[in-house]
Amino acid sequence: MPDLPLGPAVDPTPRPLPARIPHRGRVVDLEPLHVRHVPELWQAAQGAEESWAYMGYGPFASEAALRAHVGAFASQHDPMAWAVRPHRSGTADGWLTLMDIQPAHAAIELGNIWFSPRLQRTRAATEAMFLLMRHAMDDLGYRRLLWKCNALNAPSRRAAERLGFVHEGTLRAHMVVKGRRRDTAMFSILAEEWPARRAAIEAWLDDANFAPDGTARRPLRAGAG
């Protein structure tokens, strides 16, 4: 065979599929999404129309419409969804998923993240994402963790960079969402990058980093820069 450049050899063993199990954190719990969460999610969604702007669904006109969506959404294995229950509120205030699960390629995505306004930009929100990131990379051994979002979604892009995802580029005219063209920004964390990212997020989440009023003493900068 000619001496051609090839990629590095990797462990080709398929990674396990995630399981529909709860995850317990310091300030938040993740519970497998279920229709029993709908009353709390409906309350969290009130007055939050803008939070659905870049989602492929929502806002919902009624609690019954949300229930129908959650019932179908919660029955899927890809995406696999969890409700987010911060300890401070005690209520289900959003959801997030592991999706585009590719065991043979050791690749998985953190996505379909809907956080209500009372969950956005909180310690609980960061820990909720971290719990699934850690589960995918440490417990299940995935090699590539993906984040993708509408290229116009500035808050999502900032969140990806804050968590240490590396911007890979933009897929132009990638999708049609709610009748509009969507360019998709792609981000990833690779297995060799993960230990440093994990350490930075764990340090930020530590109790010592938070003042008595719950504000962080220092910002999270988990990126490679």
Cα distance between residue 94 and residue 166, in whole Å: 25
pLDDT at 223 over 80: no
Q: What is the pTM of this model?
A: 0.96
215 within some domain: no
12 within some domain: no
Which domain range does residue 187 map to?
23-209
Rounded mean pLDDT of the chain? 96
Check residue 113 and give its pLDDT.
98
13 within some domain: no
14 within some domain: no
- Region 117-141: what's the mean pLDDT? 98
15 within some domain: no
Cα distance between residue 81 and residue 79, in whole Å: 6
- Region 69-81: what's the mean pLDDT? 98
222 within some domain: no
pLDDT tens digits along 2-53: 789 999 999 999 999 999 999 999 999 999 999 999 999 999 999 999 999 9
CATH of the domain at 91: 3.40.630.30
- Region 155-180: what's the mean pLDDT? 98
Check residue 28 and give its pLDDT.
98
Contacts (Cβ under 8 Å, ≥6 apart) of 28: 84, 85, 86, 87, 124, 125, 127, 128, 131
Question: How many structural domains is the chain composed of?
Answer: 1
122 within some domain: yes
Structural tokens at position 174: 């990638």
pLDDT tens digits along 114-128: 999 999 999 999 999
200 within some domain: yes
Check residue 1 and give its pLDDT.
57
